[in-house]
Structure 1
Amino acid sequence: MIINRKIPLKFLLEEIKLPLCIVLFLGLVFGLIPNYFPDLFPVFPMGIPTTLGIAISILLSYKINQSYNRWWEARKIWGEIVNDSRSLVLQLQLYLNEDDALLHKISHYQIAWCYALDSSLRRQGFPERLETMIAGEDLYRIKKQTNIPLAINQFQTRAVRNLYENKMYDEFARTQLEETLTRLVASMGKCERIKNTVFPPTYGQTLNAAIYLFVIFLSLSSAFQLSLVLQIVILISISTVFFFLQKLAHSLQDPFHNYPTDTPMTSLSRTIEINIRQLLEEENIPEPLEPNKFYIM
């Protein structure tokens, strides 16, 4: 997630340098054609690029709105995960003896679950840090599963059931714990839905093609017969705005893509770990993650 208002210019240009090179090429070609081949293309009225520019603005507005909705939904889901993770540990402390081994085990499983969900959504494979939180036969069995967070949920559910069968708490307490675990599984499903629902790629491709057409029509329009250098500067300036907004919308549409605009899942997982370990009064509590330049993951 971008947290600094001053985003480096290099980062912005790096994302759109190829489209801008294409604009530069188109501007040079169609800016020189009228000088050497005046009868090859007709002079277009200014209304054509104006209409196309308005259409591009509308399409960009729609895409940015839809992409931001996906990003904001992902951020709200992880806010719920933070709340439910804290609630799970507080409920366990309410219903159990604070020295109970299973209380600490389930709590550590919750920390591992957050990191596992982070890695799963970013397609990063099995997170090595889980080996410090889960050991023995449990770790071996979890590694065999394709959905690591769901496997951890299964172990948590079994632990809650064992506590109830051993009469460590009553039916009401079991219901409350089950509801919290169910909400966590539901949050995981919501994240997977966002991850696996692809925004139509043809939308972005069509938008790029429309911007290139806008550049061509503007270069050949009757009111745009300026010096070649001035034409190129204007074309690149306008195209930079269009392409930057298009790239921003593209990056926001997948909030779990291991990109600076991502939902800060790793940072939130570290926050959850710190909160849970403090609730358990453990030592060697890790520090919050520091931002990486202008963003935090």
Structure 2
Amino acid sequence: MLLAKQISITYFLKLIKWDVLAIFLYACLVGALDYLTFFKDLTIPLSVSAMVGTLLSLLLAFRTAQSYERWWEARVIWGAIVNDSRTLIRQLIQFLPNHDKKSTYIKEFATRQTIWCYALAESLRKCPSSEKVDQYIAQLGTDSNNRPNLLLSAHAEQLRALSDQYNLNANKQVQLDNSIQRLTDSMGKCERIKNTVFPRAYSVLIHFLIYVLTTIFPFGLDDHHWAIEICLATIIPVLFIAIERTAILMQDPFENKPTDTPMTTLAETIERNLMEMAHMPIPAPKSKQATFYIM
């Protein structure tokens, strides 16, 4: 996730550098050809460019709003995961009867829930599993293509065993089951966002209109000074390109990029909270990196 107080302009410029270069070269070419008789007499009313720009602005506004909605939904889902993880352990502390093994069971759930958060983040980002997750899965003696779902199933199996062992009250069983269900729902929502591709045709249309505007805009400008014409013919289309690229960055919040939902940071927060609740050693927070984002 990008940090509000420390955003790298260089990172963003690298994403649009080829578009900026193409637009600038085209503006220079039109500015040079404008001195030829044919191109000097060729004019396109500025109202045509204004009409294309208005249409493009409407499409970009819709695109940006939809992309931000996907990004914000992902952040809300992970906020719910933080709350539900704490709630699950707190319910176990409250509902399980005092017994010699109570603290052991709570530690098992806290550890498994922590691993679930890391496994879900790695699954969504399609990145290699961390050593911490691999070691825990090896201890389970079984593996799955969907590790987060496997860990939630382990939660459910142990809850069933504890319910039989301690004959838990039905209301307590329902509350514990609801916590597992909410975690399952959050996982499913994340997978829906990850696997739902934003319509490609919409992106192609916007990009096509940007280059249509780039093509016709210089012919509607006054030719009093070639430098001003080149600057305007470059800056205006680049602004649209920048808005479009911003929408593209936000529409996929689980792609292991600086604009991602900070799942790793949230998982570390969950780990510290759960370890504290289970009276286990709390891992030291990682030193802050001098970067413009957190993951």
Q: Same fold (TM over 0.5)?
A: yes
What aligned pairs does 1:92-241 form with structure 2 within 5 A after superposition? 92-96=92-96, 97=98, 99-100=101-102, 101-133=104-136, 135-136=138-139, 138=140, 140-142=141-143, 145-167=144-166, 169-221=168-220, 223-241=221-239
- How far does residue 37 in structure 1 lie from its aligned partner after superposition? 5.1
Maintained 8 Å contact 2:56/2:210: yes
Q: What residue number does 1:293 align with?
A: 291
C-alpha distance in 2 between matches for 1:6 and 1:56: 30
8 Å contact from structure 2 (residues 106, 278) kept in 1: no
- Cα 1:288–1:276, aligned 2, differ >3 Å: closer, same or farther? farther
Q: Deviations along 1:26-70, whole A, 9 cap, x unmatched?
A: 212222333225169831111111111111111111111000000
- Partner SS, residue 44 of structure 2: coil
Return the alpha-carbon distance in structure 1 between the equivalents of residues 6 and 217 of structure 2.
32
**AA aligned opposite 1:51:** M
Give the deviation of 1:133 after TM superposition: 4.4
Give 1:269 shift.
Answer: 0.5
Q: Secondary structure at the match of 2:213?
A: helix
**Distance in 2 between the 1:66 and 1:23 partners?**
27
Aligned residues: 292
**Residues 6 and 38 of structure 1: CA distance in aligned 2, closer, same or farther (over 3 Å):** farther
CA distance in 2, matches of 1:226, 1:51: 24
Asked whether the equivalents of residues 122 and 128 of structure 2 are also in contact (C-alpha less than 8 Å), the reply is yes
- Give 1:291 shift: 5.1
Corresponding letter in the other structure for 1:18 = W
Amino acid corresponding to residue 141 of structure 1 in structure 2: T
In the alignment, which residue of structure 2 is the partner of 1:269? Answer: 267
Letter in 1 for 2:129: F
Deviation string, structure 1 residues 196-244 (Cα, Å, up to 9, x no partner):
11111222222122111112111112x3324332222122222232111
Q: What is the Cα deviation at residue 113 of structure 1?
A: 0.4
Runs of 5+ unmatched residues, structure 2? none
CA deviations 1:11-36 (Å, max 9, x no partner) are: 12111101001101221222233322
Change (3 A) 1:39 1:261: closer
Q: Report the Cα distance in structure 2 between the residues aligned to 1:226 and 1:282, rounded to whole angstroms.
A: 74
Given that residues 16 and 245 in structure 2 are in contact (C-alpha distance below 8 angstroms), is that contact kept between their aligned partners in structure 1? Answer: yes
Task: Normalising by structure 2, report the TM-score.
Answer: 0.92
Q: Which runs of 5+ in 1 are unaligned?
A: none
Instruction: State the SS of the aligned residue for 2:38.
Output: coil
Aligned partners of 1:6 and 1:294 also within 8 Å = yes
Instruction: State the one-letter code of the partner of 1:218.
Output: F
Is residue 86–residue 274 contact of structure 2 (8 Å, CA) maintained in 1?
yes
Closer/same/farther in 2, CA of residues 85 and 130 from structure 1, 3 Å limit: same
Q: Please give the alpha-carbon distance, in whole angstroms, between the structure 2 residues aligned to 1:229 and 1:94.
A: 73
Read off the aligned partner of 1:294 and give its amino acid letter: F
Mapped to 1, the partners of 2:125 and 2:287 lie a distance apart of 18
- Contact 2:64/2:244 (<8 A) preserved: yes
Shift in Å, 1:126: 2.6
Residue identity over aligned pairs, in percent, reads 33
1:128-167 deviations in Å (ceiling 9; x for gaps): 221454552x1x312xx11110011111110101101112
Alpha-carbon distance change, 37 to 165 in structure 1, aligned in 2, over 3 angstroms: farther
Aligned to 1:89: 89
How high is the TM-score relative to the length of structure 1? 0.92
TM-align CA RMSD? 1.9
Contact 1:260 1:296 in 2 (8 A): yes
Cα distance change on mapping 1:296 and 1:207 into 2, 3 Å: same
Kept in 2: contact 1:270–1:289 (CA 8 A)? no
1:53-72 equivalent positions in 2, closer than 5 A = 53-72=53-72
Deviation at 1:83, TM superposition (A): 0.4
Q: In the alignment, which residue of structure 1 is the partner of 2:243?
A: 245
